[in-house]
A and B are shown apart, each in its own frame.
Chain A
Amino acid sequence: MTWDWNYVADVLPALLDGLRITVIATLLGSLVALVLGLVFAVLMRGPAPVRVVVRALVEFVRSTPLLVQVFFLFFVLPQFGVTLGALVVGVIALGLHYAAYNSEVYRAGIEAVPRGQWEAATALSLPRSRVWTGVVLPQAIPRVLPALGNNVISMFKETPLLIGIGVLDIVGQAREAGNTTFRYVEVYTIAGLLFLVLSYPAALLVRRLERRVVGT
């Protein structure tokens, strides 16, 4: 009674379609988070007012639940005339949330670049933008790739909360199926396994990268 393979065969296509949505949300969300996080990190080294505002925003985003932030964007944006699909809102929310985390990662990487590098670049009169793009970031970013990778994996595992605004990801599809058939064991077990099958190898990959970065 507990495990029905025929049922599994029936729901698998829907679950895989949900997986597609989960992966899309993760990839796009990570793209936003990687770019925006870097912007935050650079601004955090800017002049005082900018620094303080960005710092406060990052702390706020990191201290409050992603789910409530998702609701916030989903319900509030339309009131300002911005109507976006649930998946787009989800990508923005994931991106913003993880940008806050990534900014800390980048910051640590930037701070690990020795002061002498800044000074040498300054002594050569390199323009500020070139100091960043030519000297500091090329040294900072390779070091933090593992940590950024971990954040991508974390985001992947957090995308299911987008079901709160109706996104049909893996868990959304599993819930739909479960609610129609009242059979939950199969769908949620498979959903869990799908996450494990993707995230565990990814985590191993990141750990290997970590060892290589430490080794250099």
Chain B
Amino acid sequence: MSDLSTWFQVLLLGLPATLIATVGGIALTVVLSFVAGLALLSPSRTVRVVSRIYVEGLRGTSEVVQLFWIFFALPVLVGFQIVPIWAGVLVLGLNHGAYGAEIVRGAVQSVPRAQYEGALALSLSPAQRMRRVILPQAVVEMLPPAGNLFIQLLKSTALLSFVFVQDVTRQAHDVLIPAFNPYVFPILLLTLAFYLVLSLLITAGMRALERVAGRRLGRVAVGVG
């Protein structure tokens, strides 16, 4: 039993890094998703192309490669080393932002054309149309896929253990497994449980957001699950 509490505490030491990476990554993802997603719908061809290159480039390559590139290759080019955890946040945000951009684009396009025309008929400016009419409706559509994306991001934080971030996974792999080798089964199960709990928290948070957003649009809560 004392073993279990030791393992738990060792894993807990990795939790701050995992949390910073998750929260920072999600924040950057949200920003990039909106910027790139709206850019994909821009009337300017140049803006669309630039955004499309970002989206396809990041979605087309592997996250691990992106991480190693930013951690090992980029310093050679720019001349300084990024703190591992921030390199991690950067990659998580860049990568998932590319997926998020498609979510934003899809949700905006799913808003019925009549809404757009209604706003146009009221002589709202393009920015007003987007901010006051289209986005509030689109956000409701974005939330469910965004929840899945954030869970993907949480799971990807484990990759940061490759670049020396002391997260939960690295604590398990580098500290616990060598020290308590006969007990890898319960140790790794406990590690998985850490992530499961974090996933459930994200899911619960997103459900709450969905309810709030749905109520704002006067939609009745659809059955849970």
B151 contacts chain A at the CB level, 8 A cutoff: yes
B121 interface residue, CB < 8 Å from A?
A: no
How far is A178 from B64 in the complex, measured between Cα atoms in Å?
15
Smallest CB-CB separation from A76: which chain B residue? Answer: B185
* Chain A, 68-121, CB within 8 A of any chain B CB: 68-69, 71-72, 75-76, 79
Residues of chain A lying within 8 A (CB to CB) of residue B204: none
When A75-B184, A185-B76, A203-B60 are in contact, do A67 and B158 touch as well, CB less than 8 Å? yes
A interface, size bucket? 35 or more
The 0/1 profile, CB within 8 Å of A marked 1, for residues 158-191 of chain B is 1101100000010011000100001011001101
Interface of B is mostly: helix
A-B CB contact pairs (8 Å), 27 listed: A63-B200, A64-B196, A67-B159, A67-B169, A68-B158, A68-B188, A68-B192, A71-B188, A72-B189, A72-B192, A76-B184, A79-B182, A79-B185, A158-B63, A159-B62, A160-B62, A161-B162, A164-B161, A164-B162, A171-B65, A171-B68, A184-B72, A191-B65, A192-B61, A195-B65, A196-B61, A199-B60
Please determine whether A200 and B56 come into contact, CB atoms closer than 8 angstroms: yes
> Inside 8 A of A189's CB, which chain B residues have their CB?
69, 73
What residues make up the interface of A, taking CB atoms closer than 8 Å to B? 2, 60, 62-69, 71-72, 75-76, 79, 157-161, 163-164, 170-171, 174-175, 178, 184-185, 188-189, 191-193, 195-196, 199-200, 203
Residues of chain B having any CB pair with chain A under 8 Å: 56-57, 59-66, 68-69, 72-73, 76-77, 151, 154-159, 161-162, 169, 172-173, 177, 182, 184-185, 188-189, 191-192, 195-196, 199-200
Query: What residues of B have a CB within 8 angstroms of the CB of A66 in the complex?
Result: 155, 158
Write the nearest CB–CB distance from A108 to chain B, whole angstroms. 14
